[in-house]
């Protein structure tokens, strides 16, 4: 067991941090980028691709870098640190991850190769307006006519769904949920994009007898979806760590510089203790997020590990986000200042793939089935 | 001890309920219910409806439109108003500068300002906070220098709520920089927002809205007659203004409304065909919040029932503290009920995300403010620890 990054991983972190620090030197730059379509910076996306990050977890044979979950986590944390709006988790971990795990060799070559090169940004169209967090689909149905398939129904909110060059769509099929590829110019596809509260984008996606290509061999893909969602939850946990780390660092800095009543705010123990509690939340969340990535790498029960990470990070994100604003006073409420942006993003992350109570509900359902939790034993290792 | 309202108070409550639910335009109340922002005109219209019925400033002295109600009646008035989704009278007018002018202004100021203040013919904004004077308001640096029979104001205010709509500002300025105690050299001045030398810069908040502003003063000339009360006594008036209102500090009826709509949404949203409201975790969370709210409502009632002599009940300090926390918890609950739809805040026509879910997160983020302004929760704890517990 080792919680430290090796030297290559440290190098990766430094390289990503450097790239993103140049792209997003301050919160104003981030604010300017998300103010314009498509809600992220295409140039930064290209630079991420040049660094190999948009193909990071994919096999080299598919055009990727062959890296593992720890590397993905490192990138996600650096993204969170500056709230880079580029859809790394959405396009690479989630949509790309599904193509990697389910797709045929030809699909993997086509999609992942282009994604790795930066020329293609896919999105996973899975959420449905009438469904809560779930691994299955019911609002979009797939119909087979001869050898070809069409999809009908609505997906929303689809992160980055309007900008995406390719949609990976989940749809109800006989006996489960299938996965399909839908091209951006497909017939009967209507996408209406809009801003999320955190500046990123989502879309309403309507499919009307839209031609679609089954991903992989077809059939029920619910387990693969469940797994991809779990891996994305773990990646989001790391993105949240980056955002929480920034929010805490900036808050601590502010307490040292902001003066009221003739002294800097750090003279008030009522406030410094609150910052200390934020640190406690952050470090506990960090431990469990790092652990979840190691479980994933070790081939353990990634779904349950992701639920544990989700719960802890959800609680931590809320705690740190709220306190970061409160300890700043009015300035924390402004769109210009970074802690408000951090809190908004943390709130979005919390609700994208299942919030803390949702994960708690899943964990609660099985507490009587084991005696104690051993994070280093079964089912995790 | 007695649980029931007296028959008179019951009749009073019914009278209020009938008025608020029948006389204030439905379109305005719908907008409040949807938690959408009101336009300037809607806010003015609604307050004028109340004022025409003598319901805008019931707590003012009777000769200026007050009603001489008991604190309990004022509480009932406020709660019924909130329950009916009627926007309360603009605080800057009704609970801040109005009572100050009524208590400390001269006769000419009362005559000039009070009727239009009650009727929203003047929209006031509050010029207290400055970039370096927030919790420590007494450190404010905006100056007013006497020049013949005028004051010349220079400096900057910030967080000025709805300054973009305001006709006038009530502004704290330092008039005696040499005063031994900082609090002793401050005066309260009134001047129009379109005075030469006043400029306003909007501040965008995290929910994307524009409700606060920076306001800059450069050699703004204010007639000497616009100073309220005595020179260098502005601090006392500011304290009076901030500590004046005990009713409506804890927005009980508003939180009730939030919880009621949360439950309605939780019944509509389903998880595998089962209403979310039946999820044991969700139901427990709602029940816990409701119980906290019951405790808060009863505390508010205990405070109003016991403050007949005009002195605030010590427990009133818990109202702002816990009231803001519960307000925030209720908005957070609605975000969680919206779940995956809660990210889609700026969805437009053609979206399947219902309006309440779109509003949920911006509203939650916006309500982080309620524990910061009007005396932050840290300030409230300082009051409880210091003034009540003697610590
Ligand atoms: C949305 C909004 C609307 C507003 N509208 C108006 C308006 O219309 N007019 C107006 O004049 N002002 C307005 N305000 C300003 C508001 O009153 C101030 O934000 C408030 O007084 C806090 O000051 P600050 O923001 O400078 O924070 P600071 O005073 O810098 O406080 C930062 C943090 O330190 C804490 N703190 C400060 N001192 C102590 C201490 N001694 N002990 C423990 N903790 C402490 C605070 O509680 C806070 O958590 C508004 C603010 C907001 C957010």
| C-beta atoms surrounding B354 within 10 Å | 17
What is the tens place of the pLDDT at every residue in B87-120?
999 999 999 999 999 999 999 999 999 999 999 9
DSSP letter for B133, please. Answer: B
Which residues are within 8 A (CB) of A270 and not within 5 positions of it... i.e. 6 or more apart? B378, B381
Annotated catalytic sites of B, by residue? 245
Q: Classify residue A349: in a domain, yes or no.
A: yes
Confidence of residue A367 (pLDDT cuts 50, 70, 90): very high
Distance of CA B251 to the CA centre of its chain: 10
- The CATH number of whichever domain residue B327 belongs to comes to 1.20.140.10
How do B143-147 and B150-157 pair as beta strands?
Answer: antiparallel
A215 & A134 share domain: yes
Q: Could you tell me the two tokens for B210? A: 């524009």
Among candidate residues B232, B257, B281, the one where a domain is terminated: B232
Q: How far is the CA of A328 from the centre of ligand 1 (A)?
A: 8
In a domain, A357, yes or no: yes
pTM for the predicted model, two decimal places: 0.97
For residues A101 and A192, membership in a common domain is answered with no
Q: What is the DSSP-derived secondary structure letter of residue B378?
A: H
**Residue B342: which domain range?**
246-388
Using a CB–CB cutoff of 8 Å, tell me whether B159 touches chain A.
Answer: yes
Q: Say yes or no: A181 and A228 in one domain.
A: no
Q: Which atom of ligand 1 is nearest to the CA of B377?
A: 47
pLDDT tens digits, one per residue of B309-337: 556 677 777 999 999 999 999 999 999 99
B365 pLDDT tier (thresholds 50, 70, 90): very high
Of A96, A120, A144, the residue that ends a domain is A120
Number of domains in chain B: 3
DSSP A127: -
Distance to chain A for B239, nearest Cα, Å = 17
Please identify, among A84, A100, A120, the residue that sits at the C-terminal boundary of a domain.
Answer: A120
Rg over CA atoms, chain B: 22
Q: What is the pLDDT of residues A129-176, one digit of tens each?
A: 999 999 999 999 999 999 999 999 999 999 999 999 999 999 999 999
Model confidence pLDDT, tens digit, residues B196-248: 999 999 999 999 999 999 999 999 999 999 999 999 999 999 999 887 666 66
Alpha-carbon distance of B181 to B185, in angstroms, equals 7
Alpha helix positions (H), chain A: 7-23, 27-35, 42-50, 69-82, 97-102, 105-107, 113-117, 222-257, 269-298, 302-328, 338-352, 356-364
Same domain, residue pair A228 and A362: yes
Domain housing A35: 7-120
Which residue in the set B134, B340, B365 is minimally distant from A157, CB to CB?
B340
Number of domains in chain A: 3
Judge if the beta carbon of residue A326 lies within 6 A of ligand 1: yes
Q: Residue holding tokens 């994307």?
A: B208
- pLDDT, residue B278, reads 97
Among B343, B356, B359, B379, the strongest candidate for a mutation testing the A interface, having the largest count of A CBs within 10 A, is B343
What is the per-residue pLDDT across A113-141, written as a single tens digit (0 to 9) for each? Answer: 999 999 999 999 999 999 999 999 999 99
Span between the terminal Cα atoms of chain B, in Å: 32
Maximal C-alpha separation, chain B = 76
Beta strands in chain B (DSSP E): 124-127, 143-147, 150-157, 168-174, 186-192, 198-203, 212-223, 270-271, 274-275
In 3D, which of B164, B162, B182 has the Cα closest to residue B173? B182
- Which residue puts its alpha carbon closest to atom 7 of ligand 1? B160
- Return d(Cα B40, Cα B28) in angstroms, integer: 11
DSSP string, B248-304: TSS-HHHHHHHHHHHHHHHHHSEETTEEGGGSHHHHHHHHHHHHHHHHHHHHHHHHH
Four-point Cα dihedral A212, A215, A219, A221, nearest 10: -120
Q: What is the dihedral of CA B52, B58, B60, B62, to 10 degrees?
A: 80
Q: Which helix (H) or strand (E) holds B381?
A: helix B377-383
Looking at the structure, tell me whether residues B291 and B372 fall in a common domain: yes
**pLDDT tens figures, A85-111:** 999 999 999 999 999 999 999 999 999
Percentage of the residues of chain B whose pLDDT score is greater than 70:
97
Among candidates A192, A268, A343 on the partner chain, residue whose Cβ is nearest the Cβ of B365: A343
A215 and A229 both lie in a single domain: no
pLDDT band at A311 (very low <50, low <70, confident <90, very high): very high
Domain ends where: B232, B256, B272? B232
Contacts of B271 in chain A (CB under 8 A): 132
**Same domain as A360, residue A233:** yes
Average the pLDDT over B158-170 and give the result. Answer: 98
| Region B173-190 average pLDDT | 95
User: Could you tell me the pLDDT band of residue B29, with boundaries at 50, 70 and 90?
Assistant: very high
Q: Is residue B237 part of a domain?
A: no
B373 lines ligand 1 (CB under 6 A): yes
ipTM above 0.85, yes or no: yes
């Amino acid at each position: 067991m080792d919680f430290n990054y090796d030297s290559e991983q440290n190098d990766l972190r430094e390289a990503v941090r450097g790239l993103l620090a140049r792209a997003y030197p301050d919160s104003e730059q981030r604010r300017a980028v998300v103010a314009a379509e498509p809600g992220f910076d295409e140039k930064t996306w290209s630079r991420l691709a040049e660094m190999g990050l948009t193909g990071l977890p994919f096999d080299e044979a598919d055009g990727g870098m062959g890296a593992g979950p720890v590397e993905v986590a490192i990138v996600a944390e650096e993204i969170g640190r500056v709230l880079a709006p580029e859809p790394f988790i959405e396009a690479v971990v989630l949509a790309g991850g599904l193509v990697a795990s389910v797709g045929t060799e030809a699909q993997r070559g086509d999609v992942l190769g282009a994604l790795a090169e930066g020329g293609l940004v896919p999105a996973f169209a899975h959420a449905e307006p009438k469904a809560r967090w779930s691994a299955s689909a019911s609002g979009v149905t797939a119909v087979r006519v001869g050898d070809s398939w069409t999809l009908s129904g609505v997906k929303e909110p689809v992160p980055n769904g309007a900008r995406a060059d390719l949609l990976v769509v989940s749809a109800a099929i006989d006996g489960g949920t299938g996965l399909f590829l839908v091209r951006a110019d497909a017939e009967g596809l209507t996408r209406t994009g809009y801003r999320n509260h955190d500046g990123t984008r989502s879309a309403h996606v309507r499919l009307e007898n839209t031609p679609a290509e089954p991903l992989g061999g077809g059939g029920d893909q619910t387990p693969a979806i469940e797994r991809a969602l779990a891996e994305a939850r773990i990646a989001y946990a790391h993105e949240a760590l980056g955002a929480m780390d920034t929010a805490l660092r900036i808050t601590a800095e502010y307490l040292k510089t902001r003066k009221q009543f003739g002294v800097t705010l750090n003279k008030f123990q009522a406030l410094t203790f609150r910052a200390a509690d934020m640190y406690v939340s952050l470090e506990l969340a960090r431990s469990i997020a790092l652990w979840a990535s190691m479980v994933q790498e070790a081939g353990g029960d990634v779904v349950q590990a992701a639920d544990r990470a989700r719960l802890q990070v959800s609680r931590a994100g809320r705690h740190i986000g709220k306190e970061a604003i409160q300890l700043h006073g009015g300035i924390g409420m402004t769109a210009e200042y970074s802690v408000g942006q951090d809190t908004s993003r943390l709130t979005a992350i919390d609700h994208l793939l299942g919030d803390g109570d949702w994960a708690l509900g899943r964990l609660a359902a099985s507490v009587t089935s084991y005696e104690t939790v051993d994070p280093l034993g079964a089912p995790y290792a | 001890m007695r649980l029931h309202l007296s028959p008179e108070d019951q009749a009073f409550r019914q009278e209020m309920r009938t008025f608020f639910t029948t006389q204030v335009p439905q379109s305005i109340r719908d907008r409040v219910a949807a938690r959408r922002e009101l336009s300037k005109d809607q806010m003015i219209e609604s307050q004028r409806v109340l004022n025409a019925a003598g319901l805008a400033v019931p707590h003012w002295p009777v000769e200026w439109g007050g009603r001489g109600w008991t604190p309990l009646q004022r509480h009932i008035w406020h709660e019924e108003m909130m329950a009916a989704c009627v926007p309360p009278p603009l605080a800057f007018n009704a609970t801040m500068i109005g009572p100050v002018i009524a208590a400390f202004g001269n006769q000419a100021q009362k005559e000039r300002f009070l009727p239009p203040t009650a009727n929203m013919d003047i929209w006031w904004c509050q010029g207290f906070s400055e970039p370096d004077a927030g919790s420590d308001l007494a450190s404010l640096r905006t100056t007013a220098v006497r020049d013949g029979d005028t004051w010349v104001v220079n400096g900057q205010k910030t967080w000025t709520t709805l300054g973009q709509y305001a006709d006038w500002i009530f502004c704290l300025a330092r008039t005696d920089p040499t005063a031994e105690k900082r609090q002793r050299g401050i005066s309260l001045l009134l001047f129009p927002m379109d005075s030469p030398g006043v400029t306003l810069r909007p501040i965008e908040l995290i929910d994307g809205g524009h409700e606060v502003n920076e306001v800059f003063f450069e050699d703004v000339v204010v007639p000497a007659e616009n100073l309220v009360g005595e020179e260098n006594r502005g601090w006392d008036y500011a304290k009076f203004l901030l500590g004046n209102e005990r009713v409506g500090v804890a927005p009980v009826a508003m939180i009730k409304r939030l919880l009621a709509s949360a439950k309605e949404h939780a019944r509509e949203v389903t998880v595998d065909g089962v209403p979310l409201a039946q999820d044991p975790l969700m139901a427990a969370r709602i029940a816990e919040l409701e119980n906290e709210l019951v405790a808060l409502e009863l505390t508010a009632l205990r405070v109003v029932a016991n403050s007949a002599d005009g002195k605030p009940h010590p427990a009133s300090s818990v109202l702002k503290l816990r009231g803001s926390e519960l307000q925030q918890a209720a908005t957070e609950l609605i975000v969680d009920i919206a779940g995956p739809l809660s990210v889609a805040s700026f969805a437009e026509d053609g979206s399947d995300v219902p309006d309440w879910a779109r509003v949920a997160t911006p509203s939650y983020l916006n309500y982080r403010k309620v524990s910061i302004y009007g005396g932050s929760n840290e300030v409230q704890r300082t009051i409880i620890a210091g003034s009540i517990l003697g610590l």
